[in-house]
Structure 1
Amino acid sequence: MPISNLVRIPSTPPVILPLPSDTKPIQWSVMIPVYNGLAYLAQTLLSVLSQDFGPDLMQIEVVDDCSTEGDVAEIVEMVGKGRVGYYKQPVNVGNIRNFETCINRSRGEYIHILHGDDYVKPGFYNAITQLFIDFPEAGAACTDWRAVNDHGNFIWSNEPVGDERGILKNWHQRIAIRQYLEPPAKVVKRSVYEDLGSFYLVSCAEDWLMWNRIAAKYPVAYHPEVLAKYRNHEQNITSASFKNRKNFLDIYKTMLYNIAHLPEHLRAASEKASRKNFSFYFANLAHQQWHANHDKEEALIVAKDALTFQVNTYSVKQYLKLLFKIAIGYKSKTG
Structure 2
Amino acid sequence: MKPPRRPRWSVVIPAHNCAHYLTWTLQSVMGQLGCRSDAEIIVVDDGSTDRPHEVVDRFGGGRVTIVRSDTPRGAVPNFNHCLAQASGELIHLLHGDDLVLPGFYDAMDRAFETPGLAAAFCRTQHVDSHSNPMAVTRRYVHGGGVWGGALMALAASNRISTPSMVVHADTYAAVGTFDETLPHAADWHMWARVAAHGPVYFVDQVLAQYRVHEASDSSSRIRTGANMAERYSALEHVLKLVPRNVRPRLRRSAAALGCYYALRMTRRQLRAGNLGTAAVQAGWAARSLRRAVLAA
- Corresponding residue for residue 308 of structure 1: 287
Counterparts of 1:142-157 in structure 2, within 5 Å, are 142-157=121-136
Structure 1 residues 272 and 34: alpha-carbon distance in aligned structure 2, compared to 1, 3 A threshold: same
Give 2:41's aligned residue: 60
Letter in 1 for 2:125: R
Match of 1:172 in 2: 151
TM-score, structure 1 length as denominator? 0.82
1:278 to 246, 250, 258: 258
2:164 to 145, 164, 185: 185
Query: Which residue number in structure 2 is paired with residue 222 of structure 1?
Result: 202
CA contact (8 A) 2:228 2:258 kept: no
* Aligned length, in residue pairs: 291
| Within-5 A mapping of 1:65-214 | 65-68=46-49, 70-133=50-113, 135-200=114-179, 201-214=181-194
Alpha-carbon separation, structure 1, partners of 2:140 and 2:67: 33
**What is the aligned-residue RMSD (CA, Å)?**
2.0
Matched, 1:237 2:212: no
2:263 aligned partner, one-letter code: A
C-alpha distance in 2 between matches for 1:291 and 1:144: 25
Q: Is 1:40 aligned to residue 52 of structure 2?
A: no
Q: What per-residue deviation string (whole Å, max 9, x for no partner) do you get for residues 219-251 of structure 1? A: 101210111111111111111112333212221
* AA matched with 1:93: R
CA shift for structure 1 position 92? 0.9
Question: How far, CA to CA, are the matches of 2:286 and 2:116 in structure 1?
Answer: 41
SS of alignment partner, residue 123 of structure 2: strand
Instruction: Give me the whole-angstrom Cα distance separating, in 2, the residues matched to 1:64 and 1:294.
Output: 31
Instruction: Note the residue ranges of structure 1 that are not aligned, 5 or more in a row.
Output: 1-20, 315-335
Residue 138 of structure 1 aligns to a residue whose secondary structure is: coil
Asked if 1:247 corresponds to 2:227, the answer is: yes
Question: Are the aligned partners of 2:9 and 2:90 in contact in 1 as well (CA < 8 Å)?
Answer: yes
In structure 2, do the counterparts of structure 1 residues 177 and 114 end up closer, same or farther at CA, with 3 Å as the change threshold? same
- Distance, in Å, in 1 between the alignment partners of 2:22 and 2:134 is 20
> Aligned AA for 2:167?
V
Listed one character per residue, the Cα deviations across residues 258-289 of structure 1 (whole Å, up to 9, x for unaligned) are 22321223212211111101112112322432
Distance 1:270 1:163, change over 3 A: farther
Counterpart position of 1:25: 6
Residue 22 of structure 1 deviates from its aligned partner by: 5.5
Correspondence 1:263 to 2:233: no
What is the CA-CA distance between 1:210 and the residue it aligns to?
0.6
Q: What per-residue deviation string (whole Å, max 9, x for no partner) do you get for residues 120-164 of structure 1?
A: 11111011011111x121110111111111222211243223323
Give unpaired runs (5+ residues) of structure 2: none
Q: Distance in 2 between matches of 1:283 and 1:222?
A: 28
